[in-house]
Every structure is written in C-alpha cells, then in structure tokens.
Amino acid sequence: MKKLEQIYEGKAKKVFETDVYDFVIVDYKDDATAFNGEKKGTINEKGIINNKVTNHLMKMLEKKGIPTHFVEEISDRETIVKKVDIIPLEVIVRNIIAGSLAKRVGRPEGEKLSRTILEFCYKDDDLGDPMVNQYHIFAMKWATENELELISDYSLKINKYLTEYLKDLNIELIDFKLEFGKTSDGVIVLADEISPDTCRFWDSVTGEKLDKDRFRRDLGGEEDAYKEIMKRLLGE
C-alpha cells in the first residue's frame, strides 16, 4: 500500500491518503498539547507508544465484538485504518471523579462514582469542545437516536472490557475519551485512539498517575509514565 498526500494534521496525529479505497494511514507524533492547545510540548517517543497501545487495545476490543477502524500496524508510528466520517462528539466515560468533573461538582479527585457517567462534548476546538446533551445532539443532527444509543452501548461495553483488562495489570481506569466514525457503508466504528493521552490511568497500588496529567499538571516523568503503560500492556 502506498502512502499518498497528507489529508489532515491534528494535534497528535497526521492522516495520509493511500492508493487503496477507503483506507488511510495514521501517523502518530510526539507533540503534546493541553488546555485546548494553550500548553505545548513534546513527550519523547509518545507517538510510538500511543500507536502501539491504541492498536493493542483496539485488537482486544475487536475480539470482544466492538467494531473499530483498526486494519494493520505498519511501523512504529503508522497504522492503516478504515477511512471514516468522524461523528463530531467526544464521548467521555467516567468511573472515578477527576479533572473537569471534580471542578464542576466540587468534589475531590479519586472519589468512586456510584455508577458510570457518560458525557458528550461537541468536537470543536474553537468552541473548546463544550459539553452537550441528547437534545442538542438530535436537534443539531450530529447523530440520530439509534446512532447515539449504539455509541452509548459501545462506550459502556468498552469501559467494562478495558476496566477488566487493565485491572490485572494494576492499572485503574479513572476516565477516558472515545470518538466514533462512520465508514462509507454506514457502519459505526470506534475510531481515534485509546492511549495515555486520552485516558486517566492510575497505578492501582501506589495511586501514581500514568497518563497525560503528568504533562498537563507539570508533574514531570511523563516519558517514564507512558513507557510504563506500554510495558504493562505489551511487555516491551
């Protein structure tokens, strides 16, 4: 498969056209941003780690029956994925209070929720990805009722499978963000990434943060934290 022209560059990834219909190549960068692009930096080898961790988790989820965009990893930083139209929603799944939820409800980080919370944000950097509800989503036609039901069902299942899987590796899944896309034949699949950039991972023994909060909050040790996640998941 040939890598053709770049069709998109985001904060953490580039996407390239290929000579195969409906397949594109994602290329992961080491660039790190936080607070909607206000804070910028790099995390050495983050692109390699996020590529491998995402693919590892997507393969696990596929086996459990969750359709994803994953096709094939072709290098340390590059993966062939199905071309999709991204549904302009970020789905946030929360098990433990942290981040913006802690601020919104005035509760300490680390408090276990009595049940899982699903939040939807409208994916628009200029607007700062505002949180929206089902009425907004249907009125703005970002997704139909059936599509949102499917996305919500997948998100809760993904939460269950990831939580179970990570528990054995002494990783607690605090919260995470998912994106879904629609293939040319209209199938909704999990897209984007599942990595320390998009999940909060806490060591279940020490409580140590093993995710992008180390960068966001200037805690230091972000490279080691990302490496530790890769080591626990892939053994390398």
Which residues, 6 or more positions from 219, have their beta carbon under 8 angstroms from its beta carbon? 209, 213
* Nearest-approach distance from CB 99 to ligand UDP, in angstroms: 2
CB atoms within 10 A of CB 214: 20
* Nearest-approach distance from CB 79 to ligand UDP, in angstroms: 18
* Nearest-approach distance from CB 16 to ligand UDP, in angstroms: 23
* Nearest-approach distance from CB 70 to ligand UDP, in angstroms: 18
- The one among 77, 212, 214, 227 contacting ligand UDP by CB under 6 A: 212
Nearer to ligand UDP (CB atom), residue 175 or residue 228: 175
Nearer to ligand UDP (CB atom), residue 75 or residue 107: 107
Largest interatomic CA distance in the chain? 51
Write the binding mask 167 to 186 for ligand UDP: x where contact by CB under 6 A, - elsewhere: --------xxx---------
Write the binding mask 96 to 125 for ligand UDP: x where contact by CB under 6 A, - elsewhere: --xxxx------------------------
* Nearest-approach distance from CB 196 to ligand UDP, in angstroms: 8
Residues from 18 through 57 that contact ligand UDP (CB under 6 A): none
Residues that bind ligand UDP (CB under 6 A): 90, 92, 98-101, 129, 175-177, 198-200, 212
